Amino acid sequence: MALSELALQKLVPKKKRFDKPDGNGLYLRVMPTGIKTWFYRYMLEGKARRMTLGNYPDLGSAEAREMAARARKQVKEVDAVAVRKAAKATRKAAPDVADPITEF
């Protein structure tokens, strides 16, 4: 069942973080600090994965649902998290200005 705007506003933090399902793999995580974060939960190659979408209320429920729908399509094609990790590893492996100095 999808969370309404009123239900989202009424969610209050507890001593431990908790997740409220919105449907189709979309969840809202409520932290003890009061921060509310949308994330998409999915399974890939037998492993549970999670993709953070953004914080509520900066990211509204309609936008979060659209992003989750796009993420579902993306996950079917390619593991988006693995793509981001590979891009980060490529950036880190790229030579920088300090490399020639340390070689010298």
- Give the domain CATH number at 49: 3.30.160.390
Helices (H), the chain: 5-10, 61-77, 80-93, 98-103
Q: Is there a domain that residue 52 lies in? A: yes
Say what the pLDDT of residue 92 is: 80
Query: Does 58 have pLDDT greater than 80?
Result: yes
Q: Is there a domain that residue 28 lies in? A: yes
**Alpha-carbon dihedral sign for residues 21, 80, 43, 13:** negative
Say what the pLDDT of residue 22 is: 93
Q: Is there a domain that residue 34 lies in? A: yes
Q: Is there a domain that residue 84 lies in? A: yes
Q: Is there a domain that residue 83 lies in? A: yes
Q: Is there a domain that residue 99 lies in? A: no
What is the mean pLDDT of the segment spanning 15-42? 95
- Where is pLDDT greater, at 86 or 52? 52
Phi, psi of 58 (to 5 degrees): -55, -40
What is the mean pLDDT of the segment spanning 92-98? 72
Query: Does 95 have pLDDT greater than 80?
Result: no
Number of domains in the chain: 1
47 — pLDDT class (breaks 50, 70, 90):
confident
**Where in the sequence is the domain holding 29, given as residue range(s)?**
5-94
Q: Is there a domain that residue 103 lies in? A: no
Say what the pLDDT of residue 101 is: 63
